[in-house]
């Protein structure tokens, strides 16, 4: 599975850790920056990942900033993107099962790397239920 990932400066260090974790698990990872932990604008990096998803160049995305809030707001402006801001494992599981989320957002200033890896694993390992009610509700997004 191809995963596109990006962060701003606030999420840079956690992004590098998540990339190492994903590669160790055998995922194909596209790192869309930022490449150095220098102040930058998170919407530009959210767009790189949403572009990968809408172009079919990645199946899932991960976006990390200080809080995860700005990244999720920016990503969810894009039709077809369902970005879920998750800081607990329950939400990560439900975001896939119920909402068929295609981008995981996390805040590096909110949670530590241990929990971030558990959330990431849960997000990647959980499948959409395909239940009719969830399909119907998602179709009502736009």
The CB-of-44 to ligand RB5 minimum distance in angstroms stands at 12
- CB of 138 vs ligand RB5, minimal distance in Å: 25
Residue 67 or 102 with smaller CB distance to ligand RB5? 67
**Binding residues for ligand RB5, total number by CB under 6 A:** 8
Min. distance of Cβ 61 from ligand RB5 in angstroms?
16
Q: Which is nearer to ligand RB5, 73 or 94 (CB)?
A: 73
Active site residues: 65, 98
Burial group, residue 43, by CB count within 10 angstroms (0-12, 13-18, 19+):
middle
Both structure tokens of 112: 């530590």
Least distance (Å) from ligand RB5 to the CB of residue 8?
Answer: 5
In the complex with ligand RB5, which residue's Cβ is closer, 55 or 109? 109
Q: Which residues fall within 8 angstroms of residue 6, CB to CB, at 6 or more apart?
A: 15, 31, 32, 33, 34, 45, 46, 48, 49, 61, 62, 63, 64
- Give the Cα separation of 75 and 114 in Å (integer): 25
Give, as ranges, the residues between 51 and 90 that touch ligand RB5 (CB under 6 A): 65-67, 69-70
Q: Assess 42 for contact with ligand RB5 (CB under 6 A).
A: yes
DSSP codes joined into one string, 30-98: EE----SSS---HHHHHHHHHHHHHTTS-SEEEEEESSSHHHHHHHTTSTT--EEE-SSHHHHHHHHHT
Of 109 and 137, the one with the shorter C-beta distance to ligand RB5 is: 109
Q: Which residues bind ligand RB5 (CB under 6 A)?
A: 8, 10, 42, 65-67, 69-70
């Amino acid at each position: 599975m191809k995963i596109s990932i990006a962060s701003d400066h606030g999420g840079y260090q956690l992004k590098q850790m998540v990339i190492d974790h994903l590669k160790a698990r055998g995922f194909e990872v596209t790192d869309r920056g930022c490449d150095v932990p220098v102040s930058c604008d998170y919407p530009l990096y959210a767009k790189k990942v949403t572009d990968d998803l809408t172009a079919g160049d990645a199946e899932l995305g991960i976006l990390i900033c200080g809080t995860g809030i700005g990244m999720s707001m920016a990503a969810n402006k894009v039709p077809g993107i369902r970005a879920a801001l998750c800081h607990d494992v329950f939400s990560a599981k439900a975001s896939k099962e119920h909402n068929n989320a295609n981008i995981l957002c996390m805040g590096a200033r909110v949670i530590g790397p241990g929990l971030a890896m558990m959330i990431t694993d849960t997000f990647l390992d959980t499948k959409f239920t395909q239940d009719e009610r969830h399909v119907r509700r998602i179709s009502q997004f736009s």
